[in-house]
Each structure stands twice: as structure tokens, then as C-alpha cells.
Structure 1
């Protein structure tokens, strides 16, 4: 794993709003893909494959949902 990639941006899961939390979840999901496949050319090559595969798109959604659940809990569900 690249030491330059910060997997938790700003080293915090705390956000002001649920919308910011959702945006952070998407960013974190994208970062883990970048770390898992660090070669940008390979990621670009694979993009058309998962763009047309419903199961892969659902898996991406599940990854974001898991990240969002963690962020929501860290923010006490914005209560």
C-alpha cells in the first residue's frame, strides 16, 4: 500500500451533515479501489467491464453503504 494514500481523509470520520458523510463514504470507497489497484491504466481498462455489470455496480453500492454506516455511527447519526 502506498504510504502517500490517506485512506481516511483528514484522519477523521466526523462530518457536519449526513450529505457530507455520504460524500466522504464515496471518497473512501474510491480510495480503497485505488489502493487495491494502484495502476491507473489498469483501473481505466477495467472501468468498462464493471460499468456494464449490474452485480459489480451493486457491490460498489454496498461498499459505499458500509463506509457510510461507519461514518454515521462515528457522528452519532447526526443527533
Structure 2
């Protein structure tokens, strides 16, 4: 297994907006890890870009990531 960059040094963010951006980045990194071939990801994009169910599923993944980040940040209290 090759060494990858550490794109996630911490779940701690200064603001909820930064937490949301981190959640989106984590979701994108997960997709790239699952389907490592960028050409295939680009080929598949039109299939899900107009599919409401797949877009909602993507939003749910981001929401789950955000939930974890919010908890790690004590909900920015």
C-alpha cells in the first residue's frame, strides 16, 4: 500500500462553515478512494448528475460526515 498525503490532520474546525467544507471534501475523497480511476468517475458523472435519488444519497453522506465533525467540535459551543 502506497503512502498517501495526510489530507485530514484533524476534524477540528474554527466554524461550522469550515466543518461543512471539510465534510464535502471527505465525501469526495471517499468516492475517489472507492473509484480510483478518474476517467471512469468522469464518465459516470452524467448518470448521477440528473438522478435525484443519487444526489440525495450524496447529500446524506455529506450530512453524516458533517455530523461527525460537529460532534468533534462540540457543536462549536
| Contact 1:5/1:35 (8 A) holds in 2 | no
| Contact 1:29/1:63 (8 A) holds in 2 | yes
How many residues of Structure 1 are paired with residues of Structure 2 in the alignment? 77
Structure 2's unaligned 5+ residue stretches are none
Structure 1's unaligned 5+ residue stretches are none
Aligned-pair distance for 1:4?
1.6
Distance 2:2 2:34 in 1: 10
Q: CA RMSD in A?
A: 1.4
Which residue of 1 is the match for residue 15 of structure 2? 17
Which contiguous aligned blocks of 4+ residues in structure 1 show a shift greater than 4 angstroms? none
TM-score under structure 1 normalisation? 0.91
Distance 1:66 1:5 in 2: 23
Q: Does 1:65 align with 2:63?
A: yes
Distance 1:64 1:10 in 2: 15
TM-score under structure 2 normalisation? 0.93
